[in-house]
Structure 1
Amino acid sequence: MAKSIKIRAKEKGGVTTVKALMTHPMETGGRKDKKTGKTIPAHFIQEVVCKHKGNTVMMAEWSGGVSKNPYISFKFSGAAKGDDIELGWTDNTGKSDSMTSKIK
């Protein structure tokens, strides 16, 4: 799956930097369709989780206030080059996506 996530992770000096771009409309539920005048329903990522060796190294809870196609960057320690990390999201409609990548 993972068509909505691009992820890069690099380890340097014992610290791993993870950078990820997620493709998602991130609608707040407060905008109106210009053609119909109807409110566009809320559709946003609620939770982002990153795991390394089964342990959660980062978790974020978002709302409709995050921009379209969100970018996230964070650091954690304890990983090594070649290890796998998994980043996944779940949105308010129940849809989800995840991707696994090797640390470089």
Structure 2
Amino acid sequence: MADPMKIRANHNNGVTEVKVLMAHPMEGGMRKDSQGNLVPAHFIKEVKATSGGKTVMQCMWGQSVSQNPYLAFKFKGGAKGEKVQLNWVDNKGDSRTDEATIA
């Protein structure tokens, strides 16, 4: 299981801003190791954020996203004290879900 995501969520003037740092190797499958063998692809393919039971952001990723990706987004709504939950799923079927309280 991957390390926990670092999530910050702040609410201001009706808009919630979320910043996330995800720990993941994000291997594209084209790099070779020291013996010349291809390193197998291992990357996040879907990211989803929910707040108040509603999906507020969803995206599909591929091999071109860098290691330990950073993601920032805003959505209308949310309130201080509510939770924002983020979930990712990678191409090997691993997943991670973490949450943060909106400040």
| TM-score when normalising by structure 1 | 0.95
**Residue aligned with 1:29, SS:** coil
Distance 1:31 1:3 in 2: 23
Determine the structure 2 residue equivalent to 1:29: 29
The alpha-carbon deviation at position 2 of structure 1 amounts to 7.1
Which residue does 2:37 correspond to in 1?
38
Listed one character per residue, the Cα deviations across residues 57-98 of structure 1 (whole Å, up to 9, x for unaligned) are 000100000000000000001111000110110000000001
Q: Secondary structure of the residue that 1:10 maps to in structure 2?
A: strand
Q: What is residue 90 of structure 2 aligned with on the other side?
A: 91
Matches of 1:2 and 1:40 in 2, distance apart?
A: 18
Cα root mean square deviation, aligned: 1.2
Matched letter for residue 23 of structure 1: A
Q: Are 1:20 and 2:20 matched, yes or no?
A: yes
Q: For residues 68 and 28 of structure 2, what CA distance do their matches in structure 1 show? A: 13
Structure 1 stretches of 4+ with a deviation exceeding 2 A read: 1-4
Identity %: 51
1:3 positional shift = 2.8
Q: 2:24 aligned with 1:49, yes or no?
A: no
Q: Distance in 1 between matches of 2:26 and 2:4?
A: 13
Quickly say closer, same or farther: Cα 1:42–1:2, change in 2 above 3 A. Answer: closer
Q: State the Cα deviation string for residues 10-64 of structure 1 (Å, max 9, x = none).
A: 0000000000000000000000002x21100000000000000111000010000
Q: CA deviation at 1:4?
A: 3.1
Does structure 2 conserve the Cα–Cα contact (< 8 Å) formed by 1:2 and 1:99? no
User: For the residues of structure 2 that align with 1:93 and 1:62, how far apart are their CA atoms?
Assistant: 14
Q: Does the 8 Å contact 2:15/2:77 carry over to 1?
A: yes
Provide the TM-score with structure 2 as the length reference. Answer: 0.96
Provide the rounded CA distance (Å) in 1 between the counterparts of 2:3 and 2:53.
22
Corresponding pairs, count: 103
Give the structure 1 partner of residue 66 of structure 2: 67
Ranges in structure 1 where 5+ consecutive residues have no aligned partner: none
